[in-house]
Structure 1
Amino acid sequence: MYRDFPPYSYLEKGSPAGIDVEVGKKIAEQLSVQPAWFWLTPDETLNDDLRNAVWKCHYMGGGVADIMLRVPYDINYDNDKVSIVAPYHKERWTVARNTEKLAELVNLAPFMYHKVSVEVDSVPDLTLTTALRGRLVEQVTLFLSIDEAVSALKKGEIDAVAGMRSQVEWSVKASGDDLDRQMDSQKFAISDESIVSWPRRAWDIGIAVKATFPELTNKVDAAVMAMIDGGQMAPLFNEYQVSYELPAKPAP
């Protein structure tokens, strides 16, 4: 799992927490094994991460894991070292906005006049700074994480945040007490209707296993499909205030 990547995988008071931790526990339970966590620091590309996590290991050593969670699932992805199976969630880009400053947002044009924050070097960063022939670039504010960007939104320093829906929802909804969350839900709207023109608005996420482990691959795939079909997956996401979206059914 990726380290420091809430709400998917992170440490809370020294213990592993997050959606992918819960998914991993359920998979381990169905395979009758005890889970052990392998924390991955992102490298430059997905191929690098797959190498470091499951099929070879980092050049500085450290071993590998049996499976890697939260891998983009694409049947056309070409890497003969791994099998990517078990799509368990559909992720998408979205925008959270302060409704007192932006009552509606159906396209990107308002960001010529309203500050929008993004995570540095992310797809929203690249997309917004080049949109409308660069007319938005002066209004795009960069942060090191979505959590920091949402914090600025709540303080009124910026008017909107563009990022991964799960991260945006968790940051907007999951902090504070019940009253704070209720007030935030009224003040901040989360929607992707303004970014319909983005080239890839949504993608499925699955699990990577080393290509030479076909038996493990089949067992993991079956375990995840059983969780989805049995209605066990959505509650794991709901626990972290994240909307669960069923992924596309893989081709037979």
Structure 2
Amino acid sequence: MHHTLATMLMLALGGAGLIPGPAYAACEGVPPEQRLQNTAPQDIGRSLDRIQEDGWIEFALYEDFRPWSWEEAGKARGIDVEIARLIAESLGVEPRFRLVQSGETLDADLLNYVYKGATVGGHVSNVMMHVPYDVDYACRFDQVVFTGQYATERLAIAYDLATYPEKGPTAPVFRYDPVGVENDSISDFFLTSVAHGATADKVHRYKTTLAAMEALSGGEINAVMGPRAELDAGLAEGKAVHEPAFLGLARSKWTLGVGISFQHRPLAYAVDDAIAAGLEDGRIAAIFAEYGVTFQPPVR
């Protein structure tokens, strides 16, 4: 089963998506001794100076994750891949791409790919793409710099225009109409909780949101709920996407950024500067357009 990043973040914060917004005072009420601490003092990864000296930088990206990152004909493709190229170009080095599997939790992914490395044969990458940002979650991690916010992802509904010709469906409709979701995603949790499970028999679960979109194209279901970018990537003729209010869901959007080891703050600043420049001059928006995905700027 594919990872569900936003779900991982929200479960880490203590709820299946039904959680309050971020605190206004960063790290308020989180004493330093209660935060997760780095377990080893040794230097991990590579500094900005070393990266520029070596002439290359390695990015960790999730595998099989259209439209964000995947492999095609032996080459990495996707929105996150192109943003990584933009970062490498800004640093004057060659990008290298490491497509990785997601773990059970976001904590595990950060440990394996950002600040420690997997126990057996693991190494950290210089930058991990597609890390959801939340100030409360970031406070638990002294080992990771959460920076480089480059987009806002949000939940939406893709639907069949012939079935809903006048306006797009909202969640209560799926008490009666078949809808697809990625298994164990926020959308899955949310729709099965609507009307205390009255929708449960109408919710069809798929391995990925893209697989659910294929089922929508094939007429198996009337709609799909999931992250907007993944819906856009799988949109076929005669289908549309809208972003209704999801009543009862405290958070239907989240910020995407990068994760970098806290030991390499100069690198983190340089990466953030590269992304800020790409947002300002429209290069990042153009990458989304190239993949047919609706872009929403991040809150920075």
Q: Same fold (TM over 0.5)?
A: yes
SS at match of 2:219: coil
**Which residue number corresponds to residue 252 of structure 2?**
201
Aligned to 1:80: 142
Mapped to 2, the partners of 1:28 and 1:12 lie a distance apart of 21
- The equivalent residue for 1:20 is 80
**Aligned equivalent of 2:9:** none
**1:101: which partner in 2?**
163
Give the 3-state SS of the residue equivalent to 2:156 in structure 1.
Answer: strand
Q: Specify the code of the residue in structure 2 equivalent to 1:5.
A: F
Deviations, residues 99-148 of structure 1 (Å, cap 9, x unaligned): 21123345322111110000001110111111111110010001001111
Identity of matched residues, %: 33
Q: Distance in 1 between matches of 2:163 and 2:218?
A: 13
User: Hey, what's the Cα distance between the residues in 2 that align with 1:56 and 1:210?
Assistant: 9
Aligned match for 1:163, one of 207, 219, 226? 226
1:191 and 1:238 map into 2 onto residues whose CA distance is 17
Alpha-carbon distance in 1 for matches of 2:90, 2:245: 41
Equivalent-residue separation in structure 2 for 1:74 and 1:110 (angstroms) = 31
Per-residue deviation at 1:61? 2.0
Once residues 153 and 186 of structure 2 are traced to their aligned partners in structure 1, the CA distance between those partners, rounded to angstroms, is 13
Cα distance in 1 for residues equivalent to 2:252 and 2:211: 23
1:34 paired to 2:85: no
Structure 2 counterpart of 1:123: 186
Contact 1:98 1:188 in 2 (8 A): yes
Instruction: Determine helix, strand or coil for the equivalent of 1:212.
Output: helix
What residue number does 2:203 align with?
140
Asked whether the equivalents of residues 105 and 194 of structure 1 are also in contact (C-alpha less than 8 Å), the reply is no
Q: Which runs of 5+ in 2 are unaligned?
A: 1-60
Q: Determine helix, strand or coil for the equivalent of 2:174.
A: helix
Paired residues of 2:181 and 2:203 also in contact (CA < 8 A): yes
Does the alignment pair 1:231 with 2:293? no
TM-score (normalizing by structure 2): 0.77
CA distance in structure 1 between the partners assigned to 2:248 and 2:163 by the alignment: 23
Confirm or deny: 8 A CA contact 1:118 1:124 kept in the other structure: yes
Measure, in 1, the Cα distance between the counterparts of 2:235 and 2:247.
22
SS for the counterpart of 2:187 is helix
1:153-192 to 2 correspondence within 5 Å?
153-172=216-235, 184=237, 187-192=238-243
Distance in 2, matches of 1:18 and 1:196, equals 32
CA RMSD of aligned residues (A): 1.2
Q: How many residues align?
A: 237
Q: Which amino acid aligns with 1:130?
A: S
User: 1:63 offset after TM fit, Å?
Assistant: 1.1
What SS does structure 1 have at the residue aligned with 2:88?
helix
Distance in 1 between residues matched to 2:207 and 2:148, nearest whole Å: 30
Partner SS for 1:141 = strand
- What is the TM-score with the length of structure 1 in the denominator? 0.91
Q: Which sections of structure 1, spanning at least 5 residues, go unmatched? A: 174-183
Match of 1:60 in 2: 120
Q: CA deviation at 1:68?
A: 0.4
Q: Is the 8 A contact 1:7 1:240 kept in 2?
A: yes
Cα distance in 2, alignment partners of residues 10 and 106 from structure 1: 31
Determine if contact 1:38/1:64 at 8 Å carries over to the other structure. no
Give the C-alpha shift of residue 38 in structure 1. 1.7
Distance 1:148 1:226 in 2: 35
TM-superposed deviation, 1:62: 2.8
Q: Report how far residue 86 of structure 1 moved.
A: 1.1
Q: Is the 8 A contact 2:172 2:194 kept in 1?
A: no
